[in-house]
Structure 1
């Protein structure tokens, strides 16, 4: 038996992992070597010789070796004291501490990486190459890159084929964009290019290093630099070949005889910051277990047993004051870091860093958009947010992108939302109506009592698509569990190029920064969910239901990032573009295409859009019943009153942009609360855009 005790961060408690050796007697009638869903049989020889693919940790190999020895019991313990071994002291005791100190790594930073490491690895406590690939891909690295093997080798300074926590911690630090270029990083780079684990660099390996130092250089230049570099560093004759020894490489870089290695092996983004944001996002994610929505059979919810109802209340980490204008002022901390729940600490850190920090990117963005609304110009002469300072705006959007990108990576393609919930339709660059919605529905942000689902189409048609998008992204960053932004058909590059959003960005900020801003906001659109379900009853989407999927679980299987949904996902494309269709119109279209309406399954080609499908009541009923749902709320069309019902009120179209394209339509939204859906109409009569 092997007993491993791992001390957890924050709580200081321990979790215990047990591995047993069990000998089965043939007399029991047990038949071995029969694989099942729960048991996978492996050959001991394959395990010892490491011929088993996709192993997440080395424990199985180590345990088999332990069993083959006379002593078959082992107890190990890993405490926080060991995890904090390399926390920088003053002065640093070794090159590892000096490296961490150069980027101001604190005990809290190490604790977060430790928590992230345990969460990823458990029940293992080490990372094999397969585990490492999955781990590092969460922070922007391509899981299929051939260079990950070199990166794994660079991390693995023990050269034993798997990574300990300290190897991961120091490896991440070595990749930081602004880390000092000292001895540890130099050895890290050396291991990266030591492809044969020999402890030396031959001419071919050194050439790869020189190529990465001089991207785009000609072969002649590279050949010359390889010769010069090997002379500057010095070589030793090993097995008949001139090779560079690691210590000589370190000394040459340290004494600056060999220059230019500082640019090697650096991440484009700070990984420590990404880990902090990712942990905050996971902590703030709803604490409800994911269910297969397709298996829920509850066509008419009748409430929930009070005893069985989940009770997940916790005390908020901050108290706030609400002024006479309904705004949040003077937040104060009411929970300290001594709480023994890890999620409380992480929520608290998220609140301090993002929500109640006036200088966070999201709060700065909201303030700027609100100020801009008073001076934004007219339709004929529109201005732009920070139009005279495009570099400052770009940096602010980049910071906001880094915050929201981590949140979206943790969100389903069809997330579950709970009432009370406001469902809001198309915005289309109508900043006046968006801020009217703010004033009426979420003035006390971030301490709002309701959830919000935005059904997409934030850009195009209107003049302020960028400002509306940035406002909603900031809202999402500040209230990640309260705000769900869905993708609309206009959150797609091809449509924006045809309509106005791309032109809007270029007109306001010039060709260089206009395109950069347009592309960066679209990178967020690419990851937005395409649907949501409120109270396991109300299906929300921009366009409608898909013909290519019958269940919510199939929607959740859509890949996270869709740059071109028309090509990459038929399900997503149909959700963005489909429309409901009343009975007679459906029959007429079927007759036109010479189809039998009874044999269509409730779907026919969408002649109005030229893409995706129209669905009738049969199609709607089939989707709702299959998923145990009761209603559909969607956007995508412009009802005169701001709302419109279909199929006997089973489907509602909602539109939240009044005076759309010069029309006289109203602005409405839907409130789902206490098993009642209520249409809310907003007074936006004074929001008609000025033209002079």
Structure 2
């Protein structure tokens, strides 16, 4: 819903803004204001209200600055989309211009009021230097200066990004800045990161708009306040900003900011178009002098970070040998700089290995948004975490009693009506799922007027909406099991009316999101009963669906029991892809109810000796099949290794490790989170996956 501008008074602290560009025609200088908080240069600005005249307000502002009543003219009108939970609206940033002579310019140097001590006159020739030093709040100032001259100034010209609609003195930022589809490489990148439109809207509102408005570009200062929250050291922020600023504009549009977040997100798969884009950003990140070449010292830094990601030794001898071996494999002399083309070819030919682990945030942007939203909710609304609600103490309850009864009543906890209602037959089968707002006869008019909690809506949609990616995959999976004879492994595989390309892309997206869930789980899960525990599935989708019909026939989300699977999901059977589709989709929907441990077949080398690698290629083709196989294994690399139930039952795929490897059970949590080579990275993990008990 787009809200008309008349409802602006309900938009919180954001209002329309008027700005003023003041030029001195005598010496070709422009007046800027030095902001106290950011130490960036901007133009004089004033907020508006609904009842004020924009013309009168900006003329008054100009008079306060120059002590002279001056004519002003409209220079640029920016219409900027602002999404809110209660409805979207557009805000306007209107830039006016006026010209002064040297006498009036001198008066501004002694201005009082809010601009006292902040006025700086900058020569037009120095504006570009300020921009290159990241001292401007937004590079828009350069564009406004050109508009005020009525001609293009080559030294101040910069590229307008695709997501900003600009025509002469009109500029628009609309809802179309959100990225969807999969036509371009960047669209595929965003899709691979799992940053859907709801998440993009959150990023735009909470991170981009809030830190930039009324500007439409993000500068280094705003970028620096956000990116450390994802786990990046502050010393690396300027280099990260240069990577994100692909056109060297010294300001990021929203899409450029979004693309950067997708590039560095730990959730984003490193295959296909996403891999090439990531490698281009990686090259730019290590090219510290920006000469489009990786000099030996710069390439050495890349090798060091590769070794760090693999937890290898960082002594000078090992690093030098690794560097020499890589140069030799590339066919490049050791002291010769490496260009982008050679770097990309080296990654593609697997002569430079491990780039999938480079250039990653510690925390994914979606997880950061969820954690931030959770902390805000608990701080402002007094919502207790689930554990606190379940473990209500005497202080959290009050008892009202009369002669007949006493009923414990919880203190003021905030509740809200669920987003979906599920209709179930007597047999327990779910036969109808509706959004609560659609059941008009059961919902009061006051409920329908309530603002929607977007976070709760997203969780509910993931579980119940048939349009969610996880449910689309589950629906496709069930269709495939009906048109293929899952009990006869000799019959040829058919897709029917299902598009294998769409199915494969959706599965990759799910794998990337589940990988993030696994990364944030301990290596030793601590579960509570009741729980169903299931062993090796080995590509047997028929047995898995039988378990479903018998044990959780209305889905894991509505089952009273938790589900624990002990590994070996793939190989041997002919339907490993379907087993993974099922387990990962429900893991995504119910991360706290479905638990998956890693077995010895969740290892790439083992799968190549058995059947899963071949199965992906046979069903999806070499290109997409390899991408799916890599995405699945990237998720396997972060799977937990073991679990306990009620602190009394120990569960793993293999067997109990020897005491010299695991003297205490808590040692399992010291296993590295990412294990792409478990035999080399952790002897304990290797034992837990392979150590079959002696009969």
Which one scores higher on RCO, CA 8 angstroms, separation ≥ 6?
1
Give the TM bin, normalised by the shorter chain.
0.3 to 0.5
Give the TM-score taking structure 1 as reference length: 0.47
